[in-house]
Amino acid sequence: MKKVTSAAKNFSISVSYPPLESKKGIPFLAQNRQFQWTNTGNVILPVIPAYGATALKKKGYKVYWDDAIAEKISYQHWLKRLIKRHPNIVFIESKTPVIKKHWQIINQIKKELPKTLVVLMGDHVTALPLESFEKSKVDYIITGGDYDFMMLNLVEHLLGKTKLEPGFYYRHKSPKSNPKIISTGKFALKHHNLDTMPIIDRKLTNWKLYGQNNTNFKYKPGAYIMSGRDCWWGKCTFCSWTTTHPAGTFRTFSVAHTIKEIEYLVSLGIKEIFDDSGTLPVGPWLNDLCHQLIKTGLNKKVIIGCNMRFAALNQAQYNLMAKAGFRFVLYGLESSNQKTLDRLDKNTKTKDAKDTLIMAKKAGLEPHITIMIGYPWESYVDTQNTLREARQLFKDSLVDSMQATIVIPYPGTPLFAECNRKNLLLSKNWDDYDMRQPIMKSPLSSETQKRLVRELFYGILTPKFIWRKLISIRKPADIKFLATYAIKYLQKLKDFQNN
Ligand code: SF4
């Protein structure tokens, strides 16, 4: 057994998601590329911070997994618990629409626990690291998306064991009258070998909290993994995770590491796994993974879901995925207008959607599409075109489920930069970036955009679609899934009601 130094034993760490109480709903913050207050109650394990917590625990540190949003406890309850635990350091992940709330929380933590260091991480602070030092008493900012490696590096640095890597910002305390913000330089990801991370300690990170309440799982309990960081394309101009994982930094865990992680989840009784890499690795990696899933018999024990891009795979590859246990495949359709796909740098053609969905369905997979509304350059006619195409895909039985949202330009993305440059932003109050209202000037009013999202949700509920869903029922799990899905679907509509 590895020797744990007393310095490590006496150093305690909290990986915290403080409750963010709001009449708008529950914040869908962690592991989410598009933030939303939601009424669906979905919760997802923040995968990369979970690797960080695991790695720190393995080094002998006392680690508290403190996802109070998933625990659904009150703010006061959480604060009291944090004060009692009195950690040496608190890591908090933030996103644009809740950054102002996090500044207030940080100031309260620093008032109650002045010696506790508070660290912020996430895409918003990667884009605007200095702002949080001005607006709060935060001690450190982690930029870039490898929170796990950076959490470990910071703690080891604080205990005098190593130098700080590039990517940190912190206050230089002397002279006290004029503290400066120091940067260790532009973050770098490529040297982080993912296989050096241990597989996630699911007990430490409270896996049961995340196993049930998620529509990506048909078979429960479910769990999340991420075998790639984050997306091998990584260029879509609206995608907030391209800020933390820019194009050209894509890395994968080895297939052996991923299989080990899946085996561990199966040993816990997990029935379905969603791989939340922005896009699942393809090519020889995917081929090898599928063969390993089949060879080890894991394909008979667990179902797998993933994010995929259109025009990335052929029929034989989809067939292999189905044989290896894949079920749910999520695609970003975004729009059915070529000019929009080009402006978003999706690097796909409108016809790729149908061609891909035909192959996925033929293989027996269950495709899900995501659609966005409110691009500044899309007219009402353009938007109706997307709605019509989406409805047609459902009519043709090529899609099983859908998610529609209003497009939000997050700081750090090329879309935000473009809108800022062209004076297309309606607000720079970060609270407004929560998908309750459009942020970009658009030919469509806020009410029209929300109405169109609702129309899209209602529009696919044709008698044929409902009948198809009913006749697809094979097992009790299918009934339970459909009932839960129907409830969540209606709850989702509440997220897009007009004020
Ligand atoms: S394909 Fe998806 S994950 Fe990849 S950059 Fe585009 S939106 Fe982001």
In a domain, 265, yes or no: yes
CA of 248 to the centre of ligand 1 (A): 13
- Residue 382 DSSP symbol: H
| Residues 261 and 178 grouped into a single domain | no
The CATH code of the domain that includes 451 is: 3.80.30.20
Site of tokens 């989410």:
32
330 lines ligand 1 (CB under 6 A): no
Pocket test for ligand 1, best of 32, 34, 226, 236 (most atoms within 8 A of CB): 236
Sequence-ordered list of residues with C-beta below 8 angstroms from that of 422, at least 6 positions apart, any chain: none
Atom of ligand 1 nearest to the CA of 334: 7
Sequence-ordered list of residues with C-beta below 8 angstroms from that of 56, at least 6 positions apart, any chain: 13, 63, 151, 152, 155
User: What does residue 338 show for φ and ψ, rounded to 5 degrees?
Assistant: -60, -35
| Residues 448 and 347 grouped into a single domain | yes
| Residues 479 and 424 grouped into a single domain | yes
Buried b (16+ CB within 10 A) or exposed e, 201-219: bbebbbbebbbebbbbbbb
In a domain, 198, yes or no: no
Predicted local distance difference test score (pLDDT) of residue 496: 63
| Residues 118 and 249 grouped into a single domain | no
234 lines ligand 1 (CB under 6 A): yes
CA 303 to chain centre: 20
- The pLDDT tens digits for 360-393 are 999 999 999 999 999 999 999 999 999 999 999 9
From 164, 183, 202, the end of a domain falls on: 183
Q: To 10 degrees, the CA torsion angle through 108, 169, 151, 101?
A: 30
In a domain, 17, yes or no: yes
Decide if 443 contacts 435 (C-beta within 8 A): no
| Residues 173 and 219 grouped into a single domain | no
For residue 457, give the amino acid letter.
Answer: F
In a domain, 367, yes or no: yes
In a domain, 1, yes or no: no
Decide if 425 contacts 409 (C-beta within 8 A): yes
> Is the bond leading into 230 cis (omega within 30 degrees of zero)?
yes
| Residues 87 and 173 grouped into a single domain | yes
Q: Could you give the count of Cα atoms lying within 13 Å of 286 in the half-sphere of its Cβ? A: 27
Separation between Cα atoms, residue 262 and residue 293, nearest integer Å: 9
Separation between Cα atoms, residue 51 and residue 152, nearest integer Å: 10
Atom of ligand 1 nearest to the CA of 238: 7
- 3-state class (DSSP) for residue 407: coil
Predicted local distance difference test score (pLDDT) of residue 1: 41
| Residues 147 and 83 grouped into a single domain | yes
CA of 122 to the centre of ligand 1 (A): 17
- 3-state class (DSSP) for residue 193: coil
Where in the sequence is the domain holding 27, given as residue range(s)?
A: 6-183
Residue 440, strand partner residues: 425
From 183, 200, 229, the end of a domain falls on: 183
- Report the alpha-carbon angle 478-399-228, nearest 5: 90
Count: domains in the chain:
2
From 136, 160, 183, the end of a domain falls on: 183
Q: To 10 degrees, the CA torsion angle through 13, 17, 20, 25?
A: -160
| Residues 227 and 356 grouped into a single domain | yes
Instruction: Return the number of other C-beta atoms located less than 10 Å from residue 317's C-beta.
Output: 17
For residue 461, give the amino acid letter.
Answer: L
Separation between Cα atoms, residue 68 and residue 88, nearest integer Å: 19
Structure-block tokens of residue 199: 């597989």
In a domain, 56, yes or no: yes
Pocket test for ligand 1, best of 231, 277, 368, 410 (most atoms within 8 A of CB): 231
| Residues 318 and 431 grouped into a single domain | yes
Decide if 447 contacts 499 (C-beta within 8 A): no
User: What does residue 256 show for φ and ψ, rounded to 5 degrees?
Assistant: -60, -45
CA of 48 to the centre of ligand 1 (A): 17
In a domain, 203, yes or no: no
Residue 371, strand partner residues: 334, 404
Site of tokens 């994982």:
245
In a domain, 193, yes or no: no
Separation between Cα atoms, residue 352 and residue 310, nearest integer Å: 6
| Residues 153 and 246 grouped into a single domain | no
Name which residue sits closest to atom 5 of ligand 1, judged by CA.
234
Decide if 306 contacts 326 (C-beta within 8 A): yes
| Residues 277 and 393 grouped into a single domain | yes
| Residues 176 and 243 grouped into a single domain | no
Structure-block tokens of residue 19: 């409750």
| Mean pLDDT (10-residue bins), the chain, 499 residues | 65 97 88 85 94 97 97 97 98 98 98 98 98 97 98 97 97 74 96 98 97 92 97 97 97 98 98 98 98 98 98 98 98 97 98 98 97 96 95 92 93 98 97 92 93 83 73 73 66 62
The CATH code of the domain that includes 119 is: 3.40.50.2300
CA of 279 to the centre of ligand 1 (A): 7
CA of 117 to the centre of ligand 1 (A): 34
- The pLDDT tens digits for 15-71 are 999 999 898 888 988 888 888 888 888 899 999 999 999 999 999 999 999 999 999
Sequence-ordered list of residues with C-beta below 8 angstroms from that of 370, at least 6 positions apart, any chain: 330, 331, 332, 333, 334, 402, 403, 404, 405
